[in-house]
Chain A
Amino acid sequence: MGRRLPVPEVNAGSMADIAFLLLIFFLVTTTIETDSGIDRKLPPPDDITEVTRKKKNVLSVLLDGKGQLLVQDQITALTDLRETVMAFLDNGGAPSDSSDHCAYCSGKELSSSSDNPLMATITMRSGRETEYGFYITVQNEVVAAYNTLRNREGQRLYGLDYTDMEIAYEASETTEAEKTLLRKQIMHLREMYPLNIIEPLQ
């Protein structure tokens, strides 16, 4: 039997180079995805049910092609929109002896504005020339108005912000029992201030 030759060692010096190469490839191809936005649910296609609302229960918002915002046919600054929408939704104009009375509203109870949040409807019209960024800003302000009111009621009833409850509901560490409770509370807040936005399609 001849002498055994020692097994030659594999040189691992270039391993780092290979790893670097792969690393740089993944660094370059990685994109941090933007995956958040404003959710909307469109009405069903054959939904042409006529909804009758008193004029005072409708807040008309018009976005024209020149970047002007008209609320109830008045030119309004974008920064005032949130306040205007909140005042409209939270008005609670129905008298306290009627069945439409809104017990949790803290608005001015003007008879010329909405009766209660359930009836308050916002119609949002936009021209063909309206810029999408402008539209999103207006949408954002309207949703912010709803969220502020829902947060207020969430704090009053459950000691939690509505938006925090929504995040907690989506979180993976929330248990089933907590989710069932959160779901009930979120649904209740949504019923108190339902998102009644109508976007007429021309």
Chain B
Amino acid sequence: MSKFNKHLEKKPQISTASLPDIVFMLLFFFMTVTVMKDDSLKVENELPNATEVKKLEKKDRVITIHVGRPTNEYSKVLGTESRIQLGDKFAKLSDVAPYVLGRLTHIPEQLHPYVTVALKVDRKANMGLVNDIKRELRQVGMLKINHTTYEGDAFTNLK
């Protein structure tokens, strides 16, 4: 019996000394891949799907415009008609051109020919507003645009 007890006492413990190393490894992975969200969305933004997509180049030459219905908390005040969101504010159509030009001044001069305006438009939004935005962009010479989409079957957009 005493022999048996002795055996129990010697139960080896699992070393947790390497646990911090593993956690740090994960931590550094997430730290390097993280992109901080710069604006919180106030509009519904379920992008449509498309298959024939091109990757947007580096983030430092992209200006984003969001379009969609106001989210639930704002729709009580603003209704359900599609709205434009510039930065973190709702905006009027006439604000688009000044906003884009304002953002352009933050981009280094040598990148100006490559600046693209990414239109992140909800799939339920109307084309009228999108065409209006395109006309505004044309007026200020921002001609490179990108209809940002998810990658997926385009026919699911209709449901």
Residue numbers of A with Cβ under 8 A of B are 12, 15-16, 19-20, 22-23, 26-27, 29-31, 33-45, 63, 67, 78-79, 126-137, 139-141, 143-144, 147, 166, 170, 199, 201-202
Contact = CB atoms under 8 A, between A and B. Distances in A.
Interface string B46-89: 01111111111001001000010000000000000000000000
A23 B146 contact: no
B95 interface: no
Contact of B147 (A78, A139, A141): A139
B118 interface: yes
Interface residues of B, number: 60
Contact of B31 (A26, A41, A67, A129): A26
Nearest to A131: B124
Interface hub of A135, A139, A201 (most chain B Cβ within 10 A): A135
Q: Is the interface of B mostly helix, strand, loop or mixed?
A: mixed
7 contacts: A23-B27, A31-B35, A37-B148, A39-B145, A42-B138, A130-B126, A132-B124
Contacts, number: 168
A43 B143 contact: yes
B108 interface: no
B30 A26 contact: yes
A137 B59 contact: no
A26 B127 contact: no
7 A-B pairs with the lowest CB-CB distances in the bound complex, closest first = A128-B128, A133-B123, A133-B157, A26-B30, A37-B148, A130-B127, A136-B48
